[in-house]
Amino acid sequence: MSGWEVVVGLEVHAELSTATKLFCGCPNRFGAEPNTLVCPVCLGLPGSLPVLNRRAVELAMRIGKALHCDIRPSRFHRKNYFYPDMPKDYQISQYDEPVNVGGYLDLPGGRRIGIERAHLEEDTGKTTHLGGGGRIHGAERALVDYNRAGVPLVEIVSRPDIRGAEEARAYVAELRDVLVATGVSDGRMEEGSLRVDANVSVRREGTGELGTRCEVKNLNSLRSLGRAIEHEAARQVALLEAGGEVVQETRHWNEDEGRTSSMRSKEESHDYRYFAEPDLVALVPDEQLLEAAGAGMPLLPAERRLRLAELLAPRGGDVPAGAADQIVTVVSLGLDDLVVAAAAAGADVRLALARAANEAARAPEAARGLDPAAFAALVRMEAAGRLSATQSKSVLSELIEHGGDPAEVAGRLGFEGLGDDALEAAVEAVVAAHPEEWDRFVGGEEKLAQFLLGQVMRSTGGRADGKAVAALLAKRRQGAPAEPGSRR
Amino acid sequence: MSAPGGQGGAGGSRPALEVAQAVRAGEVSARDVLEQALEQIAGRDGELRCFNAVTATAARAAAEAVDGRVARGEDPGPLAGVPVALKDNLCTRTAPTTCSSRILEGWVPPYDATVVTRLAAAGAVVVGKTNMDEFAMGSSTEHSAFGPTRNPWDLTRVPGGSSGGSAAAVAAGLVPVALGSDTGGSIRQPAALCGVVGVKPTYGVVSRFGLVAFASSLDQVGPLAATVEDAAAVLEVVGGHDELDSTSLPLPAPRLREVLAEGVGGMRVGVLSDMLADASPGCAAAVRAAAEALTAAGARVEEVSVPELLHGLSAYYVVAPAEASSNLARYDGVRYGLRVEGEDVETMNARTRAAGFGPEVKRRIMLGTYALSAGYYEAYYGRAQKVRAVVAEAFARAYLGAEVLLAPTSPSVAFPLGEKTADPLEMYLADLYTIPSNLAGHPAMSVPFALGEGGLPVGVQVLAPALGEREMFRVGAVLEAAADPKARAPLAAGARA
Ligand SMILES: [Zn+2]
């Protein structure tokens, strides 16, 4: 694949977290008994008419705001094609006048991916094929559940700015974080509330023109998205290198077989016969709508990452190595507020970030409930050397699990109370017990520092701060008496 | 040719408002009124075939409920006890809603159309569902899958269409009022051919919720009645904003009865001269006589030429089929109505639609599908939309000099059954004068005015700009008073006698 560039554009369908469907009052809910959340409108019964759900419009515009789109007057069209899970045999969707146009999404790595459009449309029902191994052809019966029919969707179409499988996954993960953070969607790919189609093409590195693309469907997880793009790109490269041509078509990703196969060619593609939906009026974003769309807009992931980066490296300096990944982790788990609070309380930012990205990240749900003041106090104690790293981690997990005051928890765990005198005594006792090793250490055998430190940790039951012990050993070797409080 | 409905007698043939007044006053029970209507229907409908279904049981329950309200001293509503017939494309829980199509035969909707709910709330009693051209596609009611309705004036002739069953039922005195739907003239043209009043309101004045769609941007529900006042009363009941229809105007129903006596003194009326040229001599003469009557009543009448309006026909036969091709896609055999099994879903769809739709519906679905297809869209649908805008602009110019316009409703009187069924284009021309108002979304009404060729009734069409219903009805009332009494269905004639 060397010498080739993989170009990807993604179409992400996100179900909106509205209480009701897009054009009727039926509940928008996943997992109910089939065909229990339906009415004449979402069943497309003769004579029924759609009435636009204002909340869905607000949420669509909220997505537009979060993706820096131009929010415009828009209208709905009918996309006509026969399919049993589409009750009216047309889908009400936005076509050439979508609500959100233009925009971008900044990825954690710093790349900016352009957004072409983000438009509103209704979801279809769901067909289950019985017999014939569940495949459409050969199935004996098809059962349709219309609970999902009419659920509001926003289709977010990226520009072909994405380079390769890894970036595609990063884009979808970031987009999902934005959708969840803004409360517009629950972003659950496994429940189908977030669905992705990938337009994949390849071109020789350094070429400006886009290659012929294939649209890959049936990508049900970030993993299948990555695998499918890798496979599809490799297929196209092999084809081109063998002197062949890529045919524009829609391809189906088979997760089990790990390959894509042709669904339909461009010639076989539907003629959707779009025309303006006469049952709905034009949608004009008035002040009220725009205000509701932006109400309570939280900091977005990119803004949260920037906030942490600025704390770590004020005045535009470089973020320390290793911290960038931790920032991404902390923000995607929603633990960045803890770090910000700790920084505000005067705690060491780097240490706070490390504890959030490593220890707190193991139980993010519970950690998000952590009292920021307690977290800040803990980080301060560790930075001050009053707790060893090991001790600090233990206290943190206790705080996450049960809450409380870090000093009190540390005391209860027996971590505090190992004062400077006690520590010095412990060191002296170890030196006395192991004179030979001590002498070799004094003679310059550095690896024995580790042995002596281990002995101190053992004799104190792990309560000693390793850094403090190392400092005491070093000072004692220099012949100077260890001064309490001069360890840092 | 004699006016129809004679043998029914005037007993069951009273204007709706007289019936309502008598019921409200306790002079007659809604139940008795209903039984008379059911008797009339039983006696006449075998030969007329106005009804696809007569809903006697539900009607008796509704009538008794009205009588109960009267007995308890409650307000039974402005249409208390008035028997009403509904075109069979209006959804009713109490009866199948078939659109006179095999594909919906036996389908009972789980809900009532908004207009049906409003009629019931006003005390009206629905007696049945009337025959129509299949999915409202036609001008003679001959395209019904259940056989044609016959014109009560001459059983060998068509009642017009597509609301032919409703028009004939009113003309024969089976019911005083009925609802129809008008996409290109489907209320006004049968009203004219049957000698009754028919009104197509401004688009958005009456809710379309529960009206089975033919062409959504053109469809509008409206009344057919023996008198202008009854038509006004029904429109006042069914009109007004409905939140279930996004295209419904945010306005209350127009107040019409209060203006009926205002006359037309000083009103400027334009006679659409282009529409007189191709009309039959009888139809053209009726319009000229109507113009004279309005002049005599104090209106300032002038002939105006608005030739663009006649281009509406070709635009209509692109726009309406295009929307229909989409609206009728849902009849696929999956959820309701007819299903003809096949080995896969595509075959089932195709067989169901082949068996369920009649030839005219298929013709229009094909026309509309073609007009929307990639590569043809601009040449057909795009161009038709432009013509539609041209028609609206032409109307706007005409209304600079007139509050209302006058034209024939139909180019001819009722034609013999079978005369036009072999030639779709000939049939399409029947709507030449009514289509422009649908394209513009304007109101228009047909008022029976004179007898034309063969002693058959001729309707004069009054056109008005959007929301011009009040001016339109003022003109309608003056024309009704000036009309040849023999041109009107006997129901109202009897009432005046
Ligand atoms: Zn619903």
* The pLDDT value given to residue B497: 30
pLDDT tens digits in sequence order for chain A, 488 residues long: 789 999 999 999 999 999 999 999 999 999 999 999 999 999 999 999 999 999 999 999 999 999 999 999 999 999 999 999 999 999 999 999 999 999 999 999 889 999 999 999 999 999 988 876 655 566 678 899 999 999 999 999 999 999 999 999 999 999 999 999 999 999 999 888 999 999 999 999 998 899 999 999 989 899 999 999 999 999 999 999 999 999 999 999 999 999 999 988 777 778 999 999 999 999 999 999 999 999 999 999 999 999 999 998 877 778 887 898 999 999 988 899 999 999 998 889 999 999 999 988 888 899 998 999 999 999 988 887 788 888 899 999 999 999 888 888 888 887 765 667 777 888 888 888 898 999 898 888 888 888 988 888 887 777 777 778 888 888 888 874 444 444 33
Residue to mutate among B179, B332, B338, B349, with most A CBs inside 10 A, is B332
Task: Retrieve residue A372's tokens.
Answer: 């920021």
* Residue B249 sits in the same domain as residue B377: no
Q: What is the reported pTM?
A: 0.88
pLDDT value of residue A483:
42
The reply to whether B305 belongs to the active site is no
pLDDT at A133: 61
Whether residues A308 and A165 fall in one domain: no
DSSP string, B338-369: -----SSHHHHHHHHHHHHS-HHHHHHHHHHH
Residue B52 and residue B183 share a domain = yes
Q: Are residues B322 and B450 located together in one domain of the fold?
A: no
B91 in a structural domain: yes
Among chain B residues, the shortest Cα distance to A39 is held by B110
Q: Assess A110–B contact: CB distance below 8 Å, yes or no.
A: no
B168 located within any domain: yes
Last residue of a domain, one of A268, A289, A323: A268
B200 is catalytic: no
Residues A216 and A128 in one domain: yes
Beta carbon pairs, A and B, within 8 Å:
99
Asked if the structure places residue A284 within a domain, the reply is: no
Asked whether residue B63 is assigned to any structural domain, the reply reads yes
A317 plus A204 within the same structural domain: no
CB < 8 Å to A40, chain B: 109-111
Query: Looking at the domain assignment, is residue A443 inside a domain?
Result: yes
Which residues in chain B are contacts of A280 at CB distance < 8 A? Answer: 246-247
Are B365 and B258 part of one and the same domain?
A: no
Tens digits of residue pLDDT in B403-415: 999 999 999 999 9
Whether residue B329 sits in one domain with residue B183: no
Name A352's Cβ contacts closer than 8 Å, sequence gap at least 6: A338, A339, A342, A343, A375, A376, A379
Using the Cβ of A49 and the Cβ atoms of chain B, whether some distance falls under 8 Å is answered with yes
User: Do A49 and B345 make contact, defined as CB atoms within 8 angstroms?
Assistant: no
Residues B52 and B152 in one domain: yes
Residue B223 has pLDDT above 60, yes or no: yes
Claim to verify: residue A101 and residue A239 sit in the same structural domain:
yes
Q: Test A84 with B345 for CB contact under 8 angstroms.
A: yes
Percent of chain B past pLDDT 70, that is, above it, reads 96
For B66-83, how does the pLDDT look when each residue is reduced to its tens digit (9 = 90+)?
Answer: 999 999 999 999 999 999
B475 and B326 co-located in one domain: no
Nearest chain A residue to B345, by CA: A84
Structural domain count, chain A: 3
**SS3 labels along chain A:** CCCEEEEEEEEEEEECCCCECCCCCCECCCCCCCCCCCCCCCCCCCCCCCCCCHHHHHHHHHHHHHCCCEECCECCEEEECCCCCCCCCEEEECCCCCCEECCEEECCCCCEEEEEEEEEEECCCEEEEECHHHCCCCCCEEEEECCCCCCEEEEEEECCCEECHHHHHHHHHHHHHHHHHCCCCCCCCCCCCEEEEEEEEEEECCCCCCCCCEEEEEECCHHHHHHHHHHHHHHHHHHHHCCCCCCCEEEEEECCCCEEEEEEECCCCCCCCCEECCCCCCECCCHHHHHHHHCCCCCCHHHHHHHHHHHHCHHHCCCCCCHHHHHHHHHHCCCHHHHHHHHHCCCCHHHHHHHHHHCHHHCHHHHCCCCHHHHHHHHHHHHCCCCCHHHHHHHHHHHHHHCCCHHHHHHHCCCCCCCHHHHHHHHHHHHHHCHHHHHHHHCCCCHHHHHHHHHHHHHCCCCCCHHHHHHHHHHHHCCCCCCCCCCC
CA nearest A283 in B: which residue?
B246
**A267: contact with B, CB 8 A cutoff:** no
Q: What is the pLDDT of residue A418?
A: 64
* Residues bordering ligand 1, an ion, CB closer than 5 Å: A 24, 26, 39, 41-42
Last residue of a domain, one of A252, A268, A284: A268
Check CB contact of A135 with chain B, cutoff 8 Å. Answer: no
**Which of A279, A280, A281, A284 to probe the B interface (max B CBs under 10 A)?**
A279
- Is the domain of A340 the same as that of A427? no
Question: Which domain does B187 fall in, by range?
Answer: 6-263+444-496
For residue B352, the CA-to-ligand 1 centroid distance in Å is 25
A162, A16: one domain = yes
User: B345 and B214, same structural domain?
Assistant: no
Which among B90, B99, B329 is the nearest to A80, CB-wise? B329
- Boundary (domain end) residue, out of B353, B386, B419: B386
**Whether residue A75 is found in the same domain as residue A214:** yes
Of A47, A51, A84, the CB nearest to B91: A47
Please indicate, yes or no, whether residues A219 and A316 belong to a single structural domain of this protein.
Answer: no
Look at chain B and report how many structural domains it folds into: 2
Give B393-403 pLDDT, tens digit per residue: 999 999 999 99
- Choose among B452, B417, B468, B478: nearest CA to B195: B452
Distance from CA of B90 to the nearest CA of A (A): 8
Pair (A406, A428) in one structural domain: no
Annotated catalytic residue, options B13, B29, B87, B100: B87
Give the domain extent around A326.
301-412
Nearest to A47 among B212, B323, B325 (CB): B212
Q: What is the mean pLDDT of chain B?
A: 95
Residue B380 belongs to some domain of the structure: yes
More confident: B492 or A321 = A321
Q: What is the CATH number of the domain that holds A444?
A: 1.10.10
Give chain A positions within 8 Å (CB) of B91. 46-47
B128 shares its domain with B65: yes
Q: Do A472 and A407 fall within a single domain?
A: no
Residue B491, classed as helix, strand or coil, is helix
Number of C-beta neighbours around residue B236 at 10 A = 21
User: Looking at the domain assignment, is residue A87 inside a domain?
Assistant: yes
Calculate how far, in angstroms, residue B80's C-alpha sits from the geometric centre of ligand 1: 33
The verdict on A250 and A177 lying in the same domain is yes
Domain C-terminal end among A412, A440, A463: A412
The CATH number for B225's domain is: 3.90.1300.10
Checking if the pLDDT of B8 tops 80, the result is no
Identify the domain boundary among B386, B413, B435: B386
Average pLDDT over residues B57-62: 98
Q: How high is the pLDDT of residue A2? A: 82
